[in-house]
Chain A
């Protein structure tokens, strides 16, 4: 096996035994990027020199640990990771997939990047995304679309499509994305990797460029469940720099990785199996639920009666928050500024008109409308009330169940260009994922089979701060199957 094909946890032993070095591992990943990224186009920025320097530092740490193993060595030491371009890495451009931030170089690290560096992780570069994380296909990037490594004519999902595709193509060992309505789980499903959305407040958002602040969470992608747990462990800390970071100590997630789910209560929400979903997706997910039942879990149907209202509520709340957050792009403090207009308002209008792409403008318009005088009660306030009902559905379900299981996406990866002119059709890609963000709960997508030779994702949802239950069911399922070992045949 090539070094870049290793999982994070598989790389542990050879690194510790000095059978491989972090520099060799990073070198192998950089070579892979040079080999296939002209096809996949997952990365916006690669920083090989800096990555090799960080790898050398990791090797020094490992050498020191070998001399004195009394201090524990973090499992991320020497592990090359890809970072979604919406997360700030000091000194490296953070474009957010937008022209308006083409020249923006953050002078500081996001809190999560600090946590990763502290643990000796190696930052490889920044991955492509839908502009400002608005989209479900990565086609809304102002730079280029990313391609699905399983079929280069198809999308990787989005908005964190670059991170998902990079990981699926073994162009990194792990990756970070951000999940506002499914932007990690949906691309994980479409690319055949694992993606874990933590509970709202579990991971600091400091240094994550804001899209919809009451919904955004930074989230890890892993080649398997164990790798997701390792990355979550590194990032799950209280941060006074983020007023919505929750001061609850993180458990040891590795202890949740036991292949025994006998007696766990698993709910299957009937509203997540809708007419119109791809039959192959439903078949794969139903088979996965049978496997979970065979492993000894108590599986039963449950109703989340307000499910159909999640999509319209989300597409009022998220754009409303976005329209407020994106007011900061005024061409004064950073980013693109229209060079010619002399008056302040004219410059503001032209800067935003030229700097934002169509989907971002569409959502700013939608959000502005929902917040505007005369429409606030009918749209924004109404959506917030419906959000309460959606959250209550989950509260009731989690009194009876440890986790809920459902498809991650109603379809497998679709063709590039297929949905770009039909925003509502694109929004429907997130129909099974965005209710978790509205409710603030956690969930994972893991591979559970194939339909038309393309990966299908199983979504496992947990209550707020119930990541351990989610990880346990995901891990048990993964150990009983081999879908997570499949890799796309890209050379």
Chain B
């Protein structure tokens, strides 16, 4: 389906239309994740978002999640999840001594290093 105003392909879900990254209900009114929820996710993701970003991501994530609601139409009660397409369990390697990258090469990329170690900021008060 195409948007009547801009001819772009339009993402549709059963309860809402989504346009320009904003979820709108059928009356064209915006709905979105709460600022508290967005703040909580940002903290889990360790991002210090600005207020403007929280506002914008709240709208955009709401739109994407609303679109994802169409998955709920499918009855998946008896369907196993696919985490990988490969028939893998654990992949073991022989416990042998092999050459590895040098400490110097690895630490060359470290923002801060000291005494052959990565330097981290204080964890304890």
A, B bound? yes
Q: Report the contact-size class of chain A (Cβ under 8 Å from the partner).
A: 35 or more
Q: Give min CB distance, A477 to chain B, whole Å.
A: 27
> Is B82 on the interface with A (CB-CB < 8 A)?
yes
Task: Check A342 against B122 for contact (C-beta < 8 Å).
Answer: yes
Task: Check B45 against A105 for contact (C-beta < 8 Å).
Answer: no
Q: A244-B88, A384-B81, A388-B82 are in contact. Are A343 and B121 (CB under 8 A)?
A: yes
Task: Check B9 against A428 for contact (C-beta < 8 Å).
Answer: yes
> Is A118 on the interface with B (CB-CB < 8 A)?
no
> Is B79 on the interface with A (CB-CB < 8 A)?
yes
> Is B85 on the interface with A (CB-CB < 8 A)?
yes
Write the B3-27 contact mask toward A (1 if CB under 8 angstroms, else 0): 0000011110000001111000000
Task: Check B72 against A382 for contact (C-beta < 8 Å).
Answer: yes
**CB-defined contacts of B88 to chain A, threshold 8 Å:** 243-244
Task: Check A343 against B122 for contact (C-beta < 8 Å).
Answer: yes
Write the A362-373 contact mask toward B (1 if CB under 8 angstroms, else 0): 101110110010
A103 to B109, CA, bound (A): 8
A356 to B47, CA, bound (A): 9
Q: A107-B106, A246-B86, A275-B1 are in contact. Are A372 and B41 (CB under 8 A)?
A: yes
**CB-defined contacts of A349 to chain B, threshold 8 Å:** 46-48
> Is B101 on the interface with A (CB-CB < 8 A)?
yes
A390 to B67, CA, bound (A): 18
Q: A344-B123, A384-B82, A385-B80 are in contact. Are A366 and B20 (CB under 8 A)?
A: no
Task: Check A365 against B57 for contact (C-beta < 8 Å).
Answer: yes
Partner of B64 from A201, A315, A337 at Cβ < 8 Å: A315
A240 to B94, CA, bound (A): 10
Task: Check B71 against A361 for contact (C-beta < 8 Å).
Answer: no
Task: Check B64 against A361 for contact (C-beta < 8 Å).
Answer: no
> Is A301 on the interface with B (CB-CB < 8 A)?
no
How many residue pairs link A and B with beta carbons under 8 A? The number is 184
Q: Give min CB distance, A381 to chain B, whole Å.
A: 6
**CB-defined contacts of B64 to chain A, threshold 8 Å:** 315, 366, 423-424, 427
**CB-defined contacts of B45 to chain A, threshold 8 Å:** 323, 352, 364-365, 368
A356 to B50, CA, bound (A): 13
Write the A256-286 contact mask toward B (1 if CB under 8 angstroms, else 0): 0000000000000000000111000000000
Task: Check A389 against B74 for contact (C-beta < 8 Å).
Answer: yes
Q: Give min CB distance, A134 to chain B, whole Å.
A: 13
Q: A309-B74, A353-B47, A439-B85 are in contact. Are A332 and B80 (CB under 8 A)?
A: no
A467 to B56, CA, bound (A): 42
A336 to B111, CA, bound (A): 7
Please report which residues of chain B, range 71-125, place their CB below 8 angstroms from some CB of chain A when the two chains form the complex: 71-72, 74, 76, 79-86, 88, 91, 93, 101-102, 105-106, 108-112, 118, 120-123
Please list 11 pairs of residues, one from A and one from B, whose beta carbons are closer than 8 Å in the complex, sorted by A's number: A107-B101, A200-B86, A243-B88, A275-B2, A316-B68, A344-B122, A352-B46, A353-B47, A365-B61, A385-B74, A391-B82
Query: Apart from A386-B74, A421-B20, A431-B9, what 4 extra A-B contacts exist at CB < 8 Å?
Result: A107-B106, A312-B71, A424-B18, A464-B85
